[in-house]
Structure 1
Amino acid sequence: MLDGLDDIDWARLGHAYGAADDLPGHLRALRSPDPETRDEALVELYTRIVHQGGRFEASAYAVPFLLELLADSGTPDPSAVLWLLTGVAVGSDEAVLPDGVPVAAQRRVAEGGRALLAAKPPPWSGEDETQKEYVEYAYVDSLDAADQARLWAYVELAAYDAVRAGVPLFRALLAHPDAGVRTGAAYALAWFPEEAEGSVPALAGALDAASSPAVDAAVTPAEVATLLVASGLLGAAPDPRWLADPRPIVRCAAAIGRARVLGPQSDPATVDELMRWAATPASQGARAVPGDAEPAGASVPTRPGDADPEDRSALTGPGDADAAMPGGTGPALPDEPADGEWVPFLGGDLAGYAGLALRQLGPRHAARGLGALLDRLPTVSGDQSLTVLGATLRLAFPDGPVPAGTPVSALTPEQRRLAEVLGRSTAPWLIDGQEFGNVAMLLHEHGLPDDRAAMRAYLTGDA
């Protein structure tokens, strides 16, 4: 088991904190019978090879061993290994939703990156941290912006392609006896459109099996929902019958998958389901049952800094959020709820994902979509606020940002409605009760005031 692990010159490879010579020990620890040891190893691997959603030179080298662990029935926690592999493949999925991985574009950007990586000096290694030299950081900093983009794209693509080799294994795991592994396998398959020809039938077979009365009790709603979203991301629209499923998250997933494939040609039932979920208050959570009394959006409310060499490698990619991770330590991926309704996409924020998917419906539904998002915006904070606000800004500013200092009277009605909702709402500005700088930055980039007091003054003409 793990043959060849010590044959790699890990000290010449870099991860988020420098030389990767500590990775073999962490990889071996994933087979430990002690859960605490495995959890510690998982934390260390996440922070080193998927730090803040970025991938590193050593990330791709770790993947074959992770795949070997995943395939071995003696590995104690295969679902944890599966989530880690998916993180290595795509980093943070928020960066590629709602459309999926634009792998063809990434391959174009990565052209020339291999030579740049080959020219990189090996990372510093040694015992005395006071003598540490950030040679990788200095090398990357010496490149111009275009070459840095090529280098990062190549590093991340190498990690992605290493995980892609596991697609046949992921398909096989759709029949695993553990629901968490089956769900993770469907989630992993969603990110490899170049493998859709074989993955779509595998997902369809799993959906057929999930519909069988003989196995229905063992299949969780989250598993079915993940299969439906994954199918859509690979270009196969879920059957419309799923829109009538009694389980709310299954209906939502079907609508998300159908919108991904059908776009502006989406049927009214798909559109209505997306709108209801996009308007769902955050207090109802990702497993909410959106109300059906009034169509969502029918009423409109009235009037990334410089790299830090002290804690991360210069070879980080453009990711901006820690990769999802099970176990409750480090960058957390929530454990699947007991009732099996946690869907892994967008960290479990299914309502937020529905909001992102609204743009796939095209301009005909833009006004209604904006209304739905504005219904939800006052109730969200933190990362959910960023998701909803980003989707709302896209609809309210279809032609791009306005110049800073644009008077409120010059805003479009849609832009003014957004400003008014933000002016009278507290939650969207906050993360864990503190001002959320990312929200301020996003608004500033669109020409709007970047704190609530300034927004209120702007609306009253006192700015």
Structure 2
Amino acid sequence: MPERTEMVDAVDWEFLAGGPTGVPKALHALWSGDRDGRQSAYQLLADSLARFHGCTPASIAAVPFLIDVVADPAAPDRFGACQVLRMIALGDESHWLVECPDPADDRARVAALSGADRDAAQGAVEAYDAVRAGVPVYLAALASDEPPVRLHAAHLLAWFPEERDTVVPALTRLIESEPAEYAEIAAVASVAAALAGGTAADTTLVRALNIRRGAASGTGVWASVTDRLFGRHKPFPPERWAASIALARVLGDPGSDVLEQVSECLTEAGDAVLNWPFLNGDMATLAALTLAAVPDGFDPLAAGLLRSDPEEDRALRFHALVKAAFPDGPLPDGTAFPDLTDRQKTAVRTLADAEAWREGWYIEAVTTGLGLPFGDDALRAWIG
């Protein structure tokens, strides 16, 4: 146990949190031999420190103690510390995947603010930077002999593109070295390397991703939650899908075969992939966001949404579609359907034919914010 842990009680947590808090007790419990107690502690820390995008001073103060857990090979449940650190740094992961914020731009924007506006925004930037300071520790954790630690350290490293010069090579080595038994770790590292700033110039990364993309489909642990519950064991190839998603992002123009595999992920992965930490298991939505981000991905995205299951959570997938079709924001007042571009017409028809209105308030906010009608009847009447 690092000596700094003894400093937990020296921090005025109630002052930092704005009232009574269980944070110090939870931080001590992370070193306990009681597994249930550790799990409860991590849940409390996630709820109290990460709920508001890490904007409280208590969140920032807790970061060094959580980094200490990741740094100590003897600490139990180090992967849990990685998860809470990621929550503190990012808040809502989907915001980062949809909006693709630039941390450097965020710092500059906050620096230009003043008064209460700056105070409100500064906490998120400081929380992100506090977690970023632990990147050397997370890199070392990639060599852990505990598979969950390697997996969640890779997931955490995805979000620090300013550290790409060290992060991308380290993740590439993990992609190359993970045995087939732990294909899920290589899959997470593949997407993490792309998000962390991997480019086509990283030839070793591209080669490693192509090797993983050619891996055989897996079964067993690589099954959806539904399949596991009902005892089904159909082939399930998330390693190949993850490598294809990563290649599409790294190359930008990856070729039709890669885009076909990303589109396959969109339509077949469902929304609960076991051992997939991005978006809480929703690999299909990550595939949709990837197709929306690459030049030739729009048509496969629209086609995939037409084949999608309305019982899945498709809100972010439709958001990706309309964001790609309407990059300039809301339509001018009085815009009629014939006034749209071909891509915009395809997007609107896809919203109608795939019954996007089923997704409720989120898609209603997205579509009406662009000046589009919402609801099945209204949208079809507008199309004419």
- When the two structures are superposed, what TM-score results if normalisation uses the length of structure 1? 0.68
Which residue of 121, 134, 137 corresponds with 1:153? Answer: 121
Task: Give, in whole Å, the separation in 2 of the partners of 1:32 and 1:69.
Answer: 12
Which residue of 226, 235, 241 corresponds with 2:197? Answer: 235
Which residue of 335, 358, 364 corresponds with 1:440? Answer: 364
Which residue of 314, 320, 323 corresponds with 1:385? Answer: 314
1:29 aligned to 2:18?
A: no
Q: Identify the range of structure 1 (74-83 vs 56-65) with the bigger mean alpha-carbon deviation.
A: 74-83
1:369 aligned to 2:300?
A: yes
Q: Closer, same or farther in 2 for the Cα pair 1:157/1:400, shift >3 Å? A: closer
Q: Is the 8 A contact 1:50 1:59 kept in 2?
A: yes
Corresponding residue of 1:277: 265
1:178 aligned to 2:178?
A: no
Shift of 1:52: 5.2
Task: Give, in whole Å, the separation in 2 of the partners of 1:417 and 1:112.
Answer: 40
Shift of 1:354: 1.5
Matches within 5 A, 1:193-204: 193-204=161-172
Task: Give, in whole Å, the separation in 2 of the partners of 1:415 and 1:101.
Answer: 24
Task: Give, in whole Å, the separation in 1 of the partners of 2:168 and 2:328.
Answer: 36
Residue identity in the other structure for 2:7: G
Segments of structure 2 that go 5 or more residues without pairing to the other structure are 200-205, 218-236
Residue identity in the other structure for 1:255: S
SS at match of 1:51: coil
Which residue of 248, 253, 256 corresponds with 2:242? Answer: 253
Which residue of 3, 6, 9 corresponds with 2:9? Answer: 6
1:345 aligned to 2:278?
A: yes
Higher relative contact order (CA 8 A, sep 6+): 1
Alignment deviations for residues 36-86 of structure 1 (CA, whole Å, 9 cap, x no partner):
333332222222111154532221100011112233344332211211111
Task: Give, in whole Å, the separation in 1 of the partners of 2:310 and 2:64.
Answer: 40
Q: Closer, same or farther in 2 for the Cα pair 1:4/1:203, shift >3 Å? A: same
Alignment deviations for residues 1-34 of structure 1 (CA, whole Å, 9 cap, x no partner):
41211222223313xxx33653212222223333
Alignment deviations for residues 376-419 of structure 1 (CA, whole Å, 9 cap, x no partner):
4x52467x322111111023324433246644444445444444
SS at match of 2:65: helix
Task: Give, in whole Å, the separation in 2 of the partners of 1:273 and 1:53.
Answer: 34
Q: Is the 8 A contact 1:281 1:380 kept in 2?
A: no
Higher-Rg structure is 1
1:454 aligned to 2:383?
A: no
Q: Identify the range of structure 1 (50-59 vs 398-407) with the bigger mean alpha-carbon deviation.
A: 398-407
Q: Identify the range of structure 1 (56-65 vs 269-278) with the bigger mean alpha-carbon deviation.
A: 269-278
- When the two structures are superposed, what TM-score results if normalisation uses the length of structure 2? 0.81
1:429 aligned to 2:371?
A: no
Task: Give, in whole Å, the separation in 2 of the partners of 1:23 and 1:31.
Answer: 14
SS at match of 2:97: coil
Task: Give, in whole Å, the separation in 2 of the partners of 1:99 and 1:405.
Answer: 28
Which protein has the bigger helix share? 2
Q: Closer, same or farther in 2 for the Cα pair 1:100/1:371, shift >3 Å? A: closer
Matches within 5 A, 1:326-341: 337=274
Matches within 5 A, 1:47-446: 47-51=47-51, 53-97=53-97, 102-111=102-111, 116=115, 143=116, 148=117, 150-210=118-178, 216-217=179-180, 219-237=181-199, 238-239=206-207, 240-247=210-217, 248-263=237-252, 265-278=253-266, 280-281=267-268, 284-285=270-271, 287=273, 337=274, 342-362=275-295, 365=296, 367-376=298-307, 378-380=308-310, 384-403=313-332, 406-426=335-355, 428-430=356-358, 436-446=360-370
Task: Give, in whole Å, the separation in 2 of the partners of 1:245 and 1:27.
Answer: 41
Shift of 1:343: 2.1
SS at match of 1:13: helix
Q: Is the 8 A contact 2:66 2:81 kept in 1?
A: yes
- Give aligned pairs, total: 354
Q: Identify the range of structure 1 (39-48 vs 350-359) with the bigger mean alpha-carbon deviation.
A: 39-48
Shift of 1:252: 2.0
Instruction: Give me the CA root mean square deviation.
Output: 2.8
Shift of 1:88: 1.1
What percentage of residue pairs aligned between the two structures are identical? 33
Alignment deviations for residues 151-206 of structure 1 (CA, whole Å, 9 cap, x no partner):
34321121112112221221121121221111001111111122222222222222
Task: Give, in whole Å, the separation in 1 of the partners of 2:100 and 2:243.
Answer: 16
Q: Closer, same or farther in 2 for the Cα pair 1:43/1:409, shift >3 Å? A: same
Q: Closer, same or farther in 2 for the Cα pair 1:349/1:380, shift >3 Å? A: farther
Q: Is the 8 A contact 2:54 2:127 kept in 1?
A: no
Task: Give, in whole Å, the separation in 2 of the partners of 1:98 and 1:40.
Answer: 31
SS at match of 2:63: helix
